[in-house]
Amino acid sequence: MEEALVKGAAGSLIQKDRLEKKGIRDWPGKFVVRVEDVLQALGDLARSWHHRHPVPVVAITGSNGKTTIKEMTALILGKKFTVLKTEGNWNNLIGLPLMLLKLAPEHEVAVLEMGMSVPGEIRRLRAIAEPKISTICNIGHAHLEFLGDIEGVARAKGELWEGTGEDDWIAVNLDDPRVAERAAAVRCRKLTFGILRKADLTARDLSLREGKGMRFSLSVEGAKRSVQLSTFGKHHVYNALTAAALAKILGISLEGIVAGLEEFQPLAGRGKILRLGRNIHIMDESYNANPDSLQATLAAFEEAKGKSRGLLVMGDMLEIGSSSPAEHAKMGEWVAHRGLAYLIFFGEKAQDLAQGAQTGGAAKGKILVAPTREEAVKKLEEIMEDGDWVLVKGSRAMRMEGIIQGLEGSWGRG
């Protein structure tokens, strides 16, 4: 607290017990509010501020794709409204209140991402933000270390729809059975979307435009338009459908939705493709990883690279819990069947991945284990050829972006 005040903060919240134990002095010209629980007080303060600036809140949660959906949605809505959106990864019990406290008179809508790792977090985030429009984009194998199994994930994500009012809206992914099941029990207004099932918004005729991304026909309550995304993979079509549904609820026309989706560019760490010297391409998926996102990402990578040679650099998938060794071995076995030229594994679970890849039939000479990021870059430099495509994937704490930075330093931008 003292450091923040010295650096110019106007004041601070502080728990009573900490203040008493440390004997922190009062600060002339500053405010120090003593509270029983700092997180509770921060959330209550943010909710009160939102009541002073009562704009509709759009809340987005799910196992994969939250940030991409948030960015797509904000981009579409930004054509009509002044939008406040979650910055970076400010989606937890600290970040979300801080975002709400940024609400200003000019804002007309807030698009907020809600993350979680343990039961009860989404419930509290909902209580703070009081969203009128929300979606659980999907339910998958994430945060199993804290939630036990996928049903635990479903219960925790489902907290977003607890207490939803009849006048509220939810956007429902009918292709995800766990999402659809929870939506069926909610009494409110609903807008459905999907690829496989009949819904209010659908994507049909999915195809790949070489070097460009996914193309599909978007149908919104019977009206159809063609959409060209700059991203690869079926999972990004689902992301686009989710954003389209949220925008439709807020009155955006089909033409406005298509314009926003086509303007969207993938973010660093979440599918952005970098071109280096000698026509080498890097698909940057360095922000996060779990079994579901790995499979979706690798499918997108295969689409993007086409007939070019592909290399995978994979770091640990974290927060999987006691099943982590088995899950890494399973994923190693799975990637062994993808026809990649080399598999480079980095992290504490690298040996589990390598063992799985061997079980899957990958040649030993094609499986490389790197003890450090620097060693991973060195191995890549030894094996990369002109025109190669490299997928870099790992959980956030693995800092896989360091591998990309190392390659950029060696090969330069193309």
CA 162 to CA 401: how far, in whole Å? 37
Interior angle at CA 65, CA 60 and CA 69, nearest 5: 55
Q: Report the C-alpha gap between 283 and 129 in whole angstroms.
A: 34
The pair of three-digit structure tokens given for residue 93, joined into one six-digit string = 């019990």
Structure tokens at 186: 């909610």
CB 384 within 8 A of CB 307: no
pLDDT band at 24 (very low <50, low <70, confident <90, very high): low
Task: Write out the chain in H/E/C secondary structure.
Answer: CHHHHHCCCCEEEEEHHHHHHHCCCCCCCCEEEEECCHHHHHHHHHHHHHHHCCCCEEEEECCCCHHHHHHHHHHHHCCCCCEEECCCCCCCCCHHHHHHCCCCCCCCEEEEECCCCCCCHHHHHHHHHCCCEEEECCCCCCCHHHHCCHHHHHHHHHHHHCCCCCCCEEEEECCCHHHHHHHHCCCCEEEEEECCCCCCEEEEEEEEECCCEEEEEEEECCEEEEEECCCCCHHHHHHHHHHHHHHHHCCCCHHHHHHHHHHCCCCCCCCEEEEEHHHEEEEEECCCCCHHHHHHHHHHHHHHHCCCCEEEEEECCCCCHHHHHHHHHHHHHHHHCCCCCEEEEECCCHHHHHHHHHHCCCCHHHEEEECCHHHHHHHHHHHCCCCCEEEEECCHHHCCHHHHHHHHHHHCEC
Structure confidence at residue 113 as a pLDDT band (50, 70, 90): very high
User: Which of 21-25, 211-215, 339-343 is predicted with the least confidence, judged by mean pLDDT?
Assistant: 21-25
Higher confidence at residue 243 or residue 10?
Answer: 243
Percentage of the chain beyond pLDDT 70 is: 95
* CATH 3.90.190.20 domain locations along the chain: 272-411
Confidence of residue 1 (pLDDT cuts 50, 70, 90): low
Q: Tens digits of per-residue pLDDT, 54-85?
A: 999 999 999 999 999 999 999 999 999 999 99
Least confident of 134-143, 172-181, 381-390: 134-143
Radius of gyration of the chain from Cα atoms?
Answer: 23
pLDDT at 255 > cutoff 80: yes
- Tokens encoding 294: 């790995």
Cα-Cα-Cα-Cα dihedral of 196, 199, 204, 210, to 10°?
Answer: -80
Residue 193 has pLDDT above 90, yes or no: yes
pLDDT of the residue at 387: 96
Quick: pLDDT tens for 314-333: 999 987 888 899 999 999 99
HSE at residue 341, side-chain half, CA atoms within 13 A, is 15
Give me the pLDDT at residue 222, please: 87
345 pLDDT exceeds 90?
A: yes
CA distance 339 to 361: 11
What does the pLDDT read at residue 19? 57
- The second-level CATH assignment, the architecture, of 40-263 is 3-Layer(aba) Sandwich (3.40)
Length of the chain counted residue by residue: 414
CATH superfamily, domain at 272-411: Mur ligase, C-terminal domain (3.90.190.20)
What is the arithmetic mean of pLDDT over 380-391?
96
| pLDDT computed for residue 251 by the predictor | 97
Q: Is the pLDDT of residue 341 over 70?
A: yes
Average pLDDT over residues 168-174: 98
φ, ψ for residue 274, nearest 5 deg? -110, 140
- Rounded CA separation 114/85 (Å): 12
pLDDT tier, 285 (very low <50, low <70, confident <90, very high otherwise): very high
Residues forming CATH 3.40.1190.10 domain(s) in the chain: 40-263
Mean local confidence (pLDDT), 402-410 = 93
CA distances from 103 to 29, 57, 164 (A): 25, 11, 23
**Better pLDDT: 11 or 46:** 46
Report the percent of the chain where pLDDT is more than 90: 81
Mean pLDDT to the nearest integer, 389-407: 95
Q: What region, left, alpha or beta, does residue 141 occupy, with left being phi > 0 and alpha being psi -120 to 50 degrees?
A: beta
Give the pLDDT mean for 276-292. Answer: 93
Average pLDDT score over residue span 23-28: 62
> Residue 30: which pLDDT band, with cuts at 50, 70 and 90?
confident
Structure confidence by residue, pLDDT tens digits, 39-52: 999 999 999 999 99
Between helices 291-305 and 234-249, what is the axis angle to 10°?
110
In 3D, which of 218, 217, 181, 234 has the Cα closest to residue 64?
234
393 alpha-carbon distance from chain centroid: 13
| pLDDT in the model for residue 159 | 97
26 pLDDT higher than 80: no
Lowest mean pLDDT among 105-119, 149-163, 388-402: 149-163
